[in-house]
Amino acid sequence: MDGFKKETESFDLIIRNGTLVDGTGNKSQIADIAVKDGLIAAIGDFSGKSNQEIDASNLVVTPGFVDIHTHYDGQAIWDSQLKPSSIHGVTTVVMGNCGVGFAPCKPEDRIKLVELMEGVEDIPAPVMHEGLDWKWETFEEYIEALERNKLDIDVCALLPHAALRVYVMGERAINHEAANIDDMKIMRKLAKEAVEAGAFGFSTSRTISHKSLKGEFTPTLRAHEDELTAIAMGLSDAGTGFMEIVSDWNEPDPETEFEVLKRIVKKSGRPVVFSCTQRHDRPDFWKDLMEMARQAQKEGLPIRPVVTPRPIGLLLGLNGSQNPFSGTDTYKALAELPLKQRIVEMRKKEIKKQILSEDPIAGSTFPLINRIGYSQMYRFGSPPNYNPRHEDSIENLACINGISAAEMAYDILLENDGNNFIYAPLVNYADHTFSVCQKMLEDKNAIMGLGDGGAHVGFILDAGYPTWLISYWSVKKKVFSMEETVRRLTSDTAIAAGLSDRGFLKVGLKADINIIDWENVGSSDPFMTQDLPAGGKRLMQHTKGYIATIVSGKITYRNGNSTEERPGILVRSVKDSKKVFAYTN
């Protein structure tokens, strides 16, 4: 805490009497904080005045939250509000994760990248076709396009490997051919140029779950170690940036693939973050991954897992983009009908019988359909139940009612005039408790994230993970202190991204601030809204407890409502962030 006296000064904003949780993890203190010219100008004992003051008595004042795993690559072009993240206290996002994005891109490859984003991140193609103006080809031109938009929060961009690979290799990338020496030289050069233009690193995907809507695997799936190393060396040439990876850890086995990461980090000197979850078919493997990451840190290799505070949950419904019957021919014939009319049709006995008789998997475009079954599906309810009991699965309910699990799911979807959701925890729920999430979060080498803001708009709504971390793990369960919870949402994620100007309440740093009614933070039931380009729909929710969110000294939200201030900008990377990448106590 910075306490000092200053001569009487005029500030842009003064926050009085708040409980300041500064992001370090240190104990909170009651103090005033002053803002001027977008920066924190004074904390503690100072003399000054302002035409704008907020009384934060009995409220908690924190740095703005930083989310390092989002997909606002398109939304940041067409929208000024990066919701849902911005209503959950997030003031900075890193986007371009999982190897997918829109730059660099030649005009003839635009449809390929749209199809990939549609399949991997569930952003409808018509939304992207209408929302993207494509006033770029190179990554630097894309950065410049982002800078032209005024936003409610700041954005940082990663260079997506799929876009880079297609840009350099064309159809050979789509066909998963190996990059040749010339390809790799160009990728290294373009990666360096992207980081020098402002990219915070690059991202890649090595999971079979990432497919285009046509069922084609992501172009990066089988990229060789030398290709990944070449791109990482581009980051090294630029002197900054980190690598983000999502993988199935199967090539040829987890330990061998993790050694690839270690060699890349050792050669390039650049940090790595990777998605770490518990899969139902490998319920204990996450422990090995996290141990390997801890050992790498001991060896001086900055490799950190990114984990979730609750299971990643699919919301399957007639109002969303996916439900258990989306792949059947009969449902496809009804899918474009307005919901009310669709419900009328689906309640007809002959329609129900026909849908239940058809194979929901063979004709499905949903890449995750094979990873979930009725034993892992539950009635979502209101208020939402993110922690259902095993005995409440649709499979068990069907058995109790003497009907098939498919019929039980069908009937649940028709309840509440078709507005019900079926909840399917995809990962971190093999034992039907939150214990795995807790153990992951307790590892301080782990980064809290994977909310995927901006993506999976029709069947996942996890961008509110910051709110969940507060309301569930800190307030309800009291597993993490207020100070540690704030650290995980602010300085820890800012440091991991290489952001040195935010994440703490400290004089001279950026005035990104939340004023929070800590004990009452929460979210509403998810609901569907139709506010995307081309009339596209997405899941949304309301929040409570966020009294004010401040970006660069401007109040952007009051009690979850926009103030119309748009101080958010495209943040460009700076040299060299690797030395502060690891967690330090």
Domain at 99, CATH number: 3.20.20.140
For residue 11, is it within any domain? no
- Together in a domain, 213 and 140: yes
Please tell me the distance from the alpha carbon of residue 191 to that of residue 181, in angstroms, as a whole number: 15
- Together in a domain, 326 and 460: no
Last residue of a domain, one of 371, 395, 425: 425
pLDDT band with cut points at 50, 70 and 90 for residue 131: very high
For residue 331, is it within any domain? yes
- Together in a domain, 390 and 401: yes
Matching residue, tokens 């820890």: 492
Please tell me the distance from the alpha carbon of residue 111 to that of residue 279, in angstroms, as a whole number: 32
Please tell me the distance from the alpha carbon of residue 272 to that of residue 268, in angstroms, as a whole number: 11
Q: What is the pLDDT of residue 2?
A: 44
Q: How many domains does the chain have?
A: 2
Question: For residue 580, is pLDDT > 80?
Answer: no
Q: Which domain holds residue 108?
A: 65-312+430-498+575-580
- Together in a domain, 399 and 444: no
Last residue of a domain, one of 425, 455, 484: 425
Question: In this structure, what token pair is assigned to residue 258?
Answer: 């993790």
For residue 347, is it within any domain? yes
Report the SS3 class of residue 210: coil
For residue 25, is it within any domain? no
**455, 482, 459, 484: which is closest to 471 by C-alpha?**
482
pLDDT (tens digit, 9 = 90+) per residue, 388-433? Answer: 999 999 999 999 999 999 999 999 999 999 999 999 999 999 989 9
- Together in a domain, 222 and 235: yes
**585, 584, 582, 583: which is closest to 271 by C-alpha?**
582
pLDDT (tens digit, 9 = 90+) per residue, 471-491? Answer: 999 999 999 999 999 999 999
- Together in a domain, 412 and 436: no
Q: What is the pLDDT of residue 122?
A: 82
Mean residue pLDDT across the chain: 93
- Together in a domain, 272 and 403: no
Could you tell me which residue, 313 or 106, shows the higher pLDDT?
A: 106
For 216-339, where are the E strands, in sequence order?
Answer: 242-247, 272-275, 303-307, 313-316
CA distances, 205 to each of 104, 223, 259, 558 (Å):
17, 9, 17, 38
Residues 63/68/73/78 CA torsion (nearest 10 deg): -20
**543, 459, 455: which is closest to 76 by C-alpha?**
455
pLDDT (tens digit, 9 = 90+) per residue, 158-209? Answer: 999 999 999 999 999 999 999 999 999 999 999 999 999 999 999 999 987 8
Mean pLDDT score, 279-308: 94
Question: For residue 372, is pLDDT > 90?
Answer: no
Please tell me the distance from the alpha carbon of residue 434 to that of residue 421, in angstroms, as a whole number: 21
Which amino acid would we find at residue 84? P
- Together in a domain, 148 and 217: yes
- Together in a domain, 275 and 193: yes
For residue 568, is it within any domain? no
User: DSSP code of 64?
Assistant: P
Q: What is the pLDDT of residue 8?
A: 67
- Together in a domain, 389 and 268: no
Please give the angle made by the CA atoms of 511, 502 and 470, to the nearest 5 degrees: 90
Could you tell me which residue, 372 or 171, shows the higher pLDDT?
A: 171
Q: What b/e sequence results for 4-27 when a residue is b if at least 16 CB atoms lie within 10 Å of its CB, and e otherwise?
A: eeeeeeebbbbbbebbbbbbbbee
Matching residue, tokens 């007809």: 348
Q: What is the pLDDT of residue 582?
A: 45
Last residue of a domain, one of 425, 444, 464: 425
Please tell me the distance from the alpha carbon of residue 514 to that of residue 244, in angstroms, as a whole number: 27
For residue 421, is it within any domain? yes
For residue 507, is it within any domain? no
- Together in a domain, 241 and 288: yes
Q: What is the pLDDT of residue 576?
A: 65
- Together in a domain, 207 and 298: yes
